[in-house]
Amino acid sequence: MKVIKGSNPNIDKYYFDTEAEWLAFRKDHIGASDASIITGDSKWKLPDGRVKTPYLLWKEKLGLFDMSCDNSATRYGRRMEGPARLVYQEMANDLVEPVCVINRKYPHLMVSLDGFNVTEDNAVEIKNCNKEDHQSAKEGKVPTKYYSQVQMQIMVTELPYIDYFSFHKGEGVIVKVARDDKYVSDLLEKLDTFWKHVENLEEPDHKDDDFIEKGKDWHKMAAILYDIKQKKKEVVEKEKELEENLKELSENKNACSGEFVFARSTSLGRVDYNAIPELLNRDLSEFRQNPITRWSLRRVSN
């Protein structure tokens, strides 16, 4: 990896030797293509049919899930990016190169620009679009699923606008997208909130797309399990109530009657790691065990 300071003192340009190196770097940052997932505007689907959601993106950033897709559409997009860039350069009368950019004001964010010129006053986001999205570009509009990506690129590069370039069957259309200050401010808040979830290992809220409809057989089994859990909850509550009553009758002493013995035992309490000054500023991640997975079943109103 090579890092070059940009003409803007806040900007650093990153060049990677391999795709694997870029992917590893991307996992530790929020990329511009992640923005639409965080805002809920992305409808891109995984091979299993699930829509990419903030929760799945959170798992990917923690190395618990892989959302990468390798299909004919993504391969076609990668293959056509070079030819599309050549068409754009001719239309824009400018030379651009693909590069990753980090702004020191937002170290947790990164944008992989499809094109950034030498003078660093022009950048482009290239999309090999379908007919519908290309028609939107002809009308001067950026599809909603791409808008947050472009605005994040504007924010990180600190440019007043970025070119959105739609390429379809050899035809190119340039849409100049100006910075939307209100949108950028709201977007940054959402990105920061998401990254706090990553840093604090706290799951973001689940969206409707995080759940898969499974049909009648699944519903029947879930209903049975739910009823059992409710009965178990009632039994546990009754157990606690009877235990407290028995403690009271025992007058906080070991007691017995007939074949029953009720005895008290004491064990060491848990360690309060926050109360140990030597550990306050120490990264304890190296001592962390594997993540614990739990499932919960609840009933929601229709």
Q: Which residues contact 128 (CB under 8 A, 6 or more apart)?
A: 76, 77, 80, 81, 84, 167, 168
> Rounded CA gap, 171 and 21, in Å?
33
Q: What is the mean pLDDT of each run of 10 residues along the chain (302 residues)?
A: 93 92 91 95 82 93 80 67 93 96 96 96 95 96 96 98 95 97 97 96 90 91 96 96 94 92 88 83 76 75 68
Q: How far is CA 83 from CA 86, 124, 136, 220, 232, in A?
A: 5, 14, 21, 54, 63
> What pLDDT score does 125 carry?
97
Q: Which residue has the tokens 């799945």?
A: 56
> What pLDDT score does 92 carry?
96
> What pLDDT score does 49 carry?
79
Q: Which residue has the tokens 């991307």?
A: 26
Q: Which residue has the tokens 């892989």?
A: 66
> What pLDDT score does 124 carry?
97
CATH number of the structural domain 2-208 = 3.90.320.10
> What pLDDT score does 284 carry?
74
Domain spans of the chain?
Answer: 2-208, 216-287
Greatest Cα pair distance in the chain: 97
> What pLDDT score does 73 carry?
62
> What pLDDT score does 35 carry?
97
Question: What are the structure tokens assigned to 4, written together?
Answer: 């070059």
SS3 state of residue 213: coil
Task: Answer for the pair 111, 157: CB distance below 8 angstroms, yes or no.
Answer: yes
> What pLDDT score does 66 carry?
81
